[in-house]
Amino acid sequence: MSNQTRRVPTRGEGELSKGEIFDVLQNQRRRYVLEYLKRFEEPVELSDLATQVAAWEYQTPVEEVTNDQKKRVYTTLQQTHLCKMEEAGIVEYDADENLVARTPYTEELTVYLEIVPGSEFPWREFYLSLGSISCAVVAALWTDLFPLTLLTPLEWATVIAVTFTVAAAYHTYSGADMQLGDDGYAPDEIDR
């Protein structure tokens, strides 16, 4: 990648602010770019990137992406999105070679690829509460508190384990549709 026309900030020079990150990532197409890049160590060709992004956007397999679909995505990536991402230091874009590569920031931004709506249940608070209640039950069992002695410690351990397992299973299931590829053509399977 050529560094003659731009300079990617290094860790010591300054971190990206949340505002900058969200400004760049507010566009679905740019999020798809990051999703694609995080799977490759080496630079990728803009043509391959555009084809995959078009497949995700049009919810179609890569081999069924039309030339018009690919061209629309290719053009906007080349003229708008990659330049904005490069200015923020999120990707490196070599226009002469039509190559796009990750930067150190690319890895850090994957945490922002999961969508968390405002109505999302506060899971970390739920698990903290569940853990606290479990500790209280164990402490009460040590003191032989009456209502809790109706079940044996092994039965309480089973109740606690089942509760955590069911909660985690529900959390996993409910969170599956909140990821980048929730449209059925998940970016999990990169078609080359």
pLDDT digits (tens, 9 = 90+) for 65-93: 999 999 999 999 999 899 888 888 888 99
Residue 2 lies in a domain: no
Residues 72 and 155 occupy one common structural domain: no
Residues 134 and 103 occupy one common structural domain: no
pLDDT tens by residue, the chain, 192 residues: 544 433 344 434 457 777 777 777 788 898 899 889 888 889 999 999 999 999 999 999 999 999 999 999 999 999 989 988 888 888 899 988 999 998 887 777 766 665 444 445 577 788 888 889 989 888 888 888 888 889 888 999 999 999 999 988 888 877 665 454 444 445 544 444
Residues 153 and 76 occupy one common structural domain: no
Residue 90 lies in a domain: yes
Residues 27 and 106 occupy one common structural domain: yes
What are the residue ranges of helices labelled H in 6-122? 18-25, 28-37, 46-57, 67-76, 82-87, 104-109
Residue 102 lies in a domain: yes
Residue 6 lies in a domain: no
Contact 105, 16 (CB under 8 A): yes
pLDDT at residue 7, rounded to an integer: 39
Helix (H) or strand (E) holding 129: helix 123-142
Residue 131 lies in a domain: yes
CATH code for the domain of 47: 1.10.10
Structure-block tokens of residue 27: 């566009």
Contact 185, 55 (CB under 8 A): yes
**From CA 105, how far away is CA 54, in angstroms rounded?**
24
Residues 66 and 100 occupy one common structural domain: yes
Residues 63 and 106 occupy one common structural domain: yes
Residue 8 lies in a domain: no
SS3 119: coil
| Total domain count, the chain | 2
Q: Which residues span the domain enclosing 165?
A: 123-178
Residue 39 lies in a domain: yes
Residue 135 lies in a domain: yes
Residues 22 and 105 occupy one common structural domain: yes
Residues 78 and 155 occupy one common structural domain: no
